[in-house]
Amino acid sequence: SGSRDEFALDDISITPYGAEASSEIQFSSIVLTATEGETATSYVVISEPADCSIEVSVDPSSTASASDYEFTSPLVLDFSSGGDAFLSFDIITNDDALVEPSETIVLKLMNVTGGCTIGFGDTFTLHVLDNDATTPTVVDIADITTEDANGVAESIGEYVEIIGTVYGINLADDGGLDFYIIDETSGINVFSIGDDLGYTLASGDELKVVGFIDQHNGLTRIIPESIIILSIGNSAPSSETFISIDESIESLYVHPNNNVIVNDPEDWLGDGSTFFVTVSNGDATFKLMIHQNLSYSNWTYEEFISSGASEDFFVMGIMSQNDSSSPYFDGYTLIPMFDYDFSFTHSLHGLSNNIEIALFPNPVLESLQLRCSVVIESVEIYNAIGESFGNNKPLAFESSIDVQYLLPGMYIAKITTKQGITTSTFIKQ
């Protein structure tokens, strides 16, 4: 018998325990908007710089023709270990004389090499808006906020003129515009990057806005070309009640059907910055923005709830949306614009649960404001030992009470309506 000296060797790869996952490459932003003749810059980012390359290619789902823009497809981007974490490229849109609807240029990441992987943001869409329309279409806001079955705005690219009243503040921090207007039919976000068009925002301004309809992460918005102030000092809209959250209340001034609580108090930063907390009330769960413009952004969670002696509170605000993927039915965020969009429930005596009363500001220095969904018959002010400081009879839905003569301390407002009586505490500074 003989012997065999040869042996078989299989291909074996060894992955060290605890080895880092491969670097992910994706678009930094999945949607941009440009007007004909403009150049759009997009960025591709890598989670950890590595020696990898990737192709950026035009997707067949694009509606713009090749003559509408300049972009070499496929474009190869090369990352390197220790190099930049992002690479940019330009798409040049061509100006023409045709009046046409908005078009899209859709780009996909593909054919990655070097051991990297493609991340979630593998698709980028550039909306190209026409600049040849000379006369905007005059519409109600509800006419341009309809959406398809996936939550995509059906009016993207339309050149329109709308009239609405501002509620809230300018949320932009780049010198641009980011605010909301509401008419009798609906509401919409007004958004401009780095350009305020010479407009200084004031809540209550009635505006005529001309521009193109756009959408970002599910939020329908108008990119303004011009803003004209028609009147100032208009009343705030009445807030609408919601039980569940859907597209029908996007960009409207709304409130949940009952009080909410903060799900995780540790999310309440209270450091003067803008932060987000998740709140719920049994029927709905959603994010709440605590903007740095609010006094409460400087309060700890304990200080906040102690102002109402309860962990649950009533809140109103504009319902916004930030959903990064289609279908756009998530990412809803309620944005209270002012301190008085918050109120706390105190002792109720025969007052129906569906009656809304807001008392603000609290603490107060000079003027105490009351807002009620039914007519206020009288408001009596008492101190902690029961001494009365006057009886106001506004017979109106709103009332302003001069309290600057009161000494600092805690007081009780006894509010009487035909539906019952409620008492609410406030602090005089």
Among the candidates 343, 364, 390, a domain finishes at: 343
Q: Which residue type does 94 have?
A: N
Are residues 184 and 110 located together in one domain of the fold? no
What pLDDT, on the 0 to 100 scale, is given for residue 108? 96
Residue type for position 280: S
> Are residues 122 and 144 located together in one domain of the fold?
no
Give the end of a domain, one of 198, 231, 264.
Answer: 231
CATH number of the domain residue 352 falls in: 2.60.40.1930
DSSP assignments along 49-83, one per residue: --SEEEEEEE-TT--S-GGGEE--SSEEEEE-TTS
Q: Which of 98-102, 227-231, 234-238, 387-391 has the highest mean pLDDT?
A: 227-231
Instruction: Look at residues 118, 112, 153 and name the one whose alpha carbon lies nearest to residue 26.
Output: 118
If phi > 0 it is left, if psi is from -120 to 50 it is alpha, else beta; for residue 411 that is beta
Per-residue pLDDT reduced to its tens digit, 54-72: 999 999 988 888 899 999 9
**Rounded to whole angstroms, how far apart are CA atoms 61 and 352?**
55
Burial tier of 100 (Cβ tally within 10 Å: 0-12, 13-18, 19+) = middle
- Asked if residue 307 has pLDDT above 70, the reply is no
Task: Record the tokens describing residue 365, joined without a space.
Answer: 């220095």
The one-letter amino acid code at 223 reads I
Cα 189 to Cα 32: distance, rounded to the nearest angstrom = 16
If asked whether residues 259 and 167 sit together in one domain, one would say no
Within a 10 A sphere around the Cβ of 234, how many other Cβ atoms? 14
Domain co-membership, 244 together with 331:
yes
The reply to whether 57 and 144 lie within a common domain is no
Its domain, for residue 29, covers 24-129
Mean pLDDT of the chain: 86
Q: Are residues 199 and 247 in the same domain?
A: no
Q: What is the DSSP letter of 148?
A: -
**Residue 49 is part of a domain; what is its CATH number?**
2.60.40.2030
What percent of the chain lies above the pLDDT cut of 90? 51
Confidence of residue 269 (pLDDT cuts 50, 70, 90): very high
**Final residue of a domain: which of 69, 99, 129?**
129
Residue 34 lies in a domain: yes
CATH number, domain with residue 161: 2.40.50.140
Which of 80-94, 176-190, 378-392 is least confident? 378-392
Same domain, 213 and 152: yes
Asked whether residue 348 carries a pLDDT value surpassing 70, the answer given is no
pLDDT at 287 over 70: yes
Q: Are residues 266 and 285 located together in one domain of the fold?
A: yes
Residues 258, 331: one domain?
yes
Do 108 and 144 have their domain in common?
no
Is 354 a residue whose pLDDT tops 80?
no
Check whether residue 143 and residue 108 sit in a common domain: no
Alpha helices for 124-274 (secondary structure H)? none
Residues facing 123 on adjacent strands:
108
Does the residue 89 lie in any domain? yes
Mean pLDDT: which of 30-44, 196-210, 311-325 is highest? 196-210
| pLDDT at site 134 | 67
Backbone φ, ψ for residue 296 (5° rounding): -65, -15
CATH of the domain at 317: 2.40.50
**203's tokens:** 């809540």
Q: Quick one: DSSP state of residue 351?
A: -
Predicted model pTM? 0.59
* Rg (the chain; Cα; Å): 28
Whether the bond between 327 and the residue before it is cis, its omega within 30 degrees of 0, is: yes
The answer to the question of residue 10 being in a domain is: no
**In a domain? residue 257:** yes
d(CA 284, CA 68): 45
Reply yes or no: is the peptide bond before residue 363 cis, omega within 30 of 0. Answer: yes
* Domains of the chain: total: 4
> Could you tell me if residue 4 is inside a domain?
no
Q: Residue 230: what pLDDT?
A: 96
Percent of the chain exceeding pLDDT 70 equals 90
DSSP string, 291-333: -TTSGGGGS-HHHHHHTTTSS-BEE-EEEEE---SSS----EE
Q: Of 258, 310, 302, 261, which Cα lies nearest the Cα of 424? A: 310
- 281/366 same-domain check: no
Per-residue model confidence as pLDDT tens digits over 199-216: 999 999 999 999 999 999
In a domain, 316, yes or no: yes
Average pLDDT over residues 151-167: 93
